[in-house]
Structure 1
Amino acid sequence: MVRTALRVILDAEPGLEVVGEAVTGAEAVSVVRSLEPDVVLMDVRMPEIDGIRATEQIRAGMPDPPRILVVTTFDNDSYVYDALRAGAAGFLLKRADPEELIGAVRLVARGDTLLFPSAVRALADSYAAASGPAAPWVARLTEREADVLRLMSGGLSNQEISERLGVGPQTVKTHVASVLAKTGSRDRTQAVIAAYEGGFLMKKR
């Protein structure tokens, strides 16, 4: 029922096409490798293998993996945090309305992340160490890179960060690239996870 509803909504949107569906996690991996879509809506709880393992296998087995958007019932689902750590670009609640769904797909397709900062922070607090020194990379961030990472962690897109800081989009992209390199992250989502787990957002600068 959920897959049918998603297909109807997305297929009706100009510029979007649903190219495949899967019932189980294992089937999802196979279908994605075969069809090579741009975006995958991945349920975190599926038969055979869950969405976390499926996300890991997709990202590890493809040279240019699609952007994976986790779909879940609860914004405090512990599976979501594990999926983000596995490389998902963000998550969306199943109760999201059609406009939110379409916007989410387009957002991750262009390289941005879709996070609910309060939910990610709550999940991170459950998984990250409660105390201890900040990660070494925190001290290597420039002041502007730190500003960019905070705004990324707040769920802002590159364009929104550009407007907030009063700098050009290309400058933001340069800072984001530097943040990814210094945190050892594959993408923006991984950098946000690193920000929480590395103690960056709890450290005053």
Structure 2
Amino acid sequence: MDDMVQGTAEWHAIRLGKVTASRVADVIAKTKSGPSASRAKYAGELIAERLTGSPAERFSNAAMAWGTEQEPEARKTYEFYRDTDVVQVAFVSHPVIGDSGASPDGLVDVDGLLEIKCPETHTHIETLLNKEVPSKYVTQMMWQMACTGRKWCDFVSYDPRLPESMRFFCRRVHRDDALIADLEKEVVAFLNEVRGKVIGLRRLYEEPKADAPAELLMAG
């Protein structure tokens, strides 16, 4: 576990070219005809990161910035709600699978994790009405548990714009070893594809450069 701060240059550097928890859903995304476009796009992003040594550009907007700003307050609210302290951590590598890891929003007690979302109000209301964790985040939380070895993760949705009784939602998701095993197989296959394409690109476009002077001499 690293004690650096999430969002810093060091944090982006340690995640470079790696599968992270928030993107595992893209790794496993499929359509009726096969892998989804989001899976191919994510593979392209990781390939680019490995070839350029620079993090891929991420889309950001005002709603996302607002959510990031509200996260500390949401964490404090959770600590009060659960009567516990949250330990922040920047990145945890997967114990077995290289080039993969997770950035949970906090470690809780001995066995727990915390995942915080501060979404747009309509999204938060939908979560309140459904009274359950949106399925797209379950995969993310499972990968966090896979990387940390922890047994559960509390999902929090927080929106201070609503009346006080509606601002905070929390549900616990328990570790599912069978699901984690399936995710690990998918991530290993995905990473092998990424590595293979990086190697293929380098063979095609880097090695011929060394032969270029000889070819020019022959042509002369």
Q: TM-score range by the shorter chain?
A: under 0.3
TM-score (norm. length: structure 1): 0.27
Q: Which has the larger radius of gyration?
A: 2
Structure (1 or 2) with the greater strand fraction: 2
TM-score (norm. length: structure 2): 0.25
Q: Larger RCO: Structure 1 or Structure 2 (Cα < 8 Å, ≥ 6 residues apart)?
A: 2
